C-alpha cells in the first residue's frame, strides 16, 4: 500500500512536468487551463498538476505506476551525477520514456532540474557603523574564512567613502602640505625719485616676463572642534621674483641709486630684468567648507608674512654680430632686505588663487623707484 501511494505521487510529479510543457504549447493555440491540483507532502515538497478537465485525471489509472517509479529513480540518479560534474549551479535534463518504450502508456517527457549541493556553513556578519562589514564563515570541515565585505550598492559605496573622509577629517588635527605658487609680478603705487639724464620716468614691466614662483611647506592646525572649518596655516616659503622691463631699458645701480635707463649704444635687448630671491614666513587664518560628502568646496584664507631678501641680480640678453650675449650681474641694487606684507587665497575644490602684497617699498628710501610689489596667480599644490 505504501509503495502504491509513493508511486501515485511520483506519477503526479512526472505528469505535472509533462503537462506544464503541454500547457505552454496549448496556450499558443489560444486554449486555456481550467483546473489545477496542488498536493503538499509531509516533507515540505509540493506537487502541482495542471489538467484540462477531470477526464485527464481519470486517465492516470492507465499508467503503469510501478514501472514509472523505477524508471524515475534512474532518471534522478543520472541528473544528480550530472549536477556533481557540471560547471554551473543548475542542470536540467530531459527524458522521453514513451519514445524509449512505445505502447506502454509512459509519459511523453520528463524534465528534471537539479542544483549543485552547496556546503553547509554558518556565517556571522559584524557591522561597523553600518557602513563596513566583516563576514566570518565556517564550512562543514570547520575551516573559517574571514573577509571584509564590500558595499553591494552604489549608495553603500558612496556612504563608505563619505565615512572614510569624515574619519580622516576628525582624526587629523594637524597636517602638512607642499605649496607651489605660479604667478606674475606688478609694481603698484609707483613714485619716481627725481629723474637723472637718460632715466625713464617709470619702471614699466613686461607682464608675461615678470614671473613669480613660490615653493613652501605649510603646517595646518585645526582650530575648534573635530569638524571645524577653521585652521591656522604657517610654514617656510622660498619666493623668486622677476621684474622684466618693457622697451629697450635696463636696470642700473649708480651712485647709490637704482634707476631704469634707456639703452643708447644701439643694443636691442631681448630680456632686461631684475631678479630677487627671498625666504618668507606666512601666517594665515583659513576657512575650508565642505559639502555633504565631506569634499572640499569653497575656501578662503587671509593673513600676513615677514621675510628676508637673500639675493638679487640683473640679467641682460641681446644679440651682437650674430652672437647671443647674456650678461648677469649680482648686487643689492639698493633693495630692501626685510620684507613684510599681507596675502590671501580664495578657491573652490582643487582650484585656488592667491594674491600677495608687499607693504614695504621694493627699494630703500630715496635709492630707487618708490613702489610696492603685487604678486598674484594660481596655487598648484597645497591646501
pLDDT digits (tens, 9 = 90+) for 28-41: 444 445 567 777 76
Averaged over 307-328, what is the pLDDT?
A: 93
Nearest CA to 244 out of 336, 313, 149 is that of: 313
Averaged over 289-297, what is the pLDDT?
A: 93
Domain of residue 127 covers 122-150
How many beta carbons lie within 10 A of that of residue 276, not counting itself? 21
For residue 99, the model assigns a pLDDT of 79
Instruction: Answer yes or no: do 218 and 76 share one domain.
Output: no
Residue 170 has pLDDT above 70, yes or no: yes
- What share of the chain in percent tops pLDDT 70? 71
Instruction: Answer yes or no: do 259 and 352 share one domain.
Output: yes
Instruction: Give the global pTM.
Output: 0.59
- What distance in Å separates the CA atoms of residue 211 and residue 314, rounded to the nearest whole number? 14
**C-alpha cell belonging to residue 361:** 617699498
Instruction: Answer yes or no: do 203 and 342 share one domain.
Output: yes
Averaged over 342-363, what is the pLDDT?
A: 96
Instruction: Answer yes or no: do 288 and 190 share one domain.
Output: yes
Nearest CA to 56 out of 14, 15, 27, 25 is that of: 15
Instruction: Answer yes or no: do 315 and 244 share one domain.
Output: yes
Instruction: Answer yes or no: do 108 and 127 share one domain.
Output: no
Specify if 167 maps to a domain: no
Instruction: Answer yes or no: do 132 and 101 share one domain.
Output: no
Specify if 207 maps to a domain: yes
For residue 289, the model assigns a pLDDT of 96
What is residue 84's three-state secondary structure?
helix
Instruction: Answer yes or no: do 84 and 146 share one domain.
Output: no
* Residue 170 CA from chain centroid, whole number: 20
**65-85 helix and 2-28 helix, angle to the nearest 10 degrees:** 70
pLDDT tens digits along 217-250: 999 999 999 999 999 999 999 999 999 999 899 9
pLDDT tens digits along 91-124: 787 777 777 778 777 777 777 777 665 554 444 4
Nearest CA to 221 out of 268, 274, 176, 168 is that of: 176
Instruction: Answer yes or no: do 179 and 84 share one domain.
Output: no
Instruction: Answer yes or no: do 87 and 131 share one domain.
Output: no
Specify if 285 maps to a domain: yes
For residue 142, the model assigns a pLDDT of 60
Specify if 157 maps to a domain: no
Instruction: Answer yes or no: do 281 and 140 share one domain.
Output: no
Specify if 160 maps to a domain: no
Q: Which of 115, 136, 162 is the last residue of a domain?
A: 115
Instruction: Answer yes or no: do 10 and 58 share one domain.
Output: yes
Number of domains in the chain: 3
Amino acid at each position: 500500500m505504501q509503495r502504491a501511494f509513493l508511486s501515485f505521487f511520483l506519477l503526479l510529479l512526472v505528469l505535472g512536468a509533462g503537462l506544464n510543457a503541454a500547457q505552454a504549447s496549448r496556450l499558443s493555440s489560444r486554449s486555456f487551463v481550467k483546473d489545477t491540483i496542488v498536493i503538499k507532502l509531509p516533507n515540505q515538497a509540493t506537487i502541482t498538476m495542471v489538467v484540462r478537465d477531470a477526464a485527464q485525471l481519470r486517465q492516470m489509472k492507465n499508467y503503469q505506476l510501478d514501472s514509472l517509479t523505477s524508471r524515475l529513480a534512474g532518471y534522478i540518479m543520472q541528473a544528480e551525477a550530472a549536477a556533481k560534474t557540471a560547471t554551473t549551479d543548475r542542470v536540467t535534463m530531459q527524458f522521453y520514456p514513451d519514445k524509449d518504450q512505445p505502447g506502454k502508456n509512459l509519459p511523453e517527457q520528463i524534465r528534471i532540474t537539479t542544483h549543485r549541493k552547496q556546503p553547509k556553513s554558518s556565517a556571522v556578519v559584524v557591522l561597523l557603523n553600518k557602513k563596513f562589514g566583516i563576514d566570518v564563515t565556517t564550512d562543514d570541515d570547520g575551516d573559517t574564512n574571514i573577509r571584509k565585505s564590500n558595499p553591494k550598492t552604489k549608495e553603500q559605496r558612496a556612504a563608505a567613502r563619505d565615512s572614510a573622509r569624515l574619519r580622516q577629517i576628525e582624526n587629523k588635527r594637524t597636517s602638512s602640505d607642499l605649496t607651489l605658487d605660479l604667478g606674475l609680478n606688478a609694481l603698484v603705487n609707483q613714485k619716481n625719485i627725481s629723474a637723472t639724464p637718460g632715466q625713464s620716468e617709470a619702471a614699466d614691466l613686461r607682464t608675461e616676463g615678470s614671473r613669480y614662483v613660490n615653493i613652501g611647506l605649510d603646517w595646518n592646525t585645526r582650530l575648534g572642534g573635530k569638524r571645524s572649518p577653521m585652521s591656522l596655516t604657517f610654514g617656510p616659503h622660498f619666493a623668486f621674483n622677476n621684474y622684466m622691463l618693457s622697451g629697450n631699458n635696463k636696470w642700473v645701480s649708480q651712485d647709490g641709486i637704482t634707476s631704469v635707463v634707456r639703452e643708447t649704444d644701439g643694443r636691442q635687448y631681448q630680456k632686461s630684468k631684475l631678479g630677487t630671491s627671498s625666504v618668507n614666513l606666512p601666517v594665515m587664518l583659513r576657512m575650508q567648507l565642505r559639502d555633504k560628502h565631506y569634499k572640499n568646496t569653497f575656501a578662503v584664507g587671509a593673513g600676513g608674512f615677514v621675510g628676508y631678501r637673500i639675493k638679487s641680480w640683473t640679467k641682460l640678453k641681446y644679440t651682437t654680430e650674430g652672437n647671443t650675449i647674456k650678461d648677469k650681474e649680482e648686487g643689492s641694487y639698493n633693495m630692501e632686505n626685510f620684507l613684510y606684507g599681507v596675502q590671501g587665497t580664495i578657491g573652490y575644490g582643487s582650484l585656488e588663487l592667491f594674491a600677495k602684497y608687499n607693504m614695504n617699498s621694493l627699494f630703500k628710501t630715496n635709492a630707487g623707484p618708490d613702489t610696492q610689489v603685487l604678486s598674484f596667480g594660481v596655487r598648484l599644490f597645497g591646501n
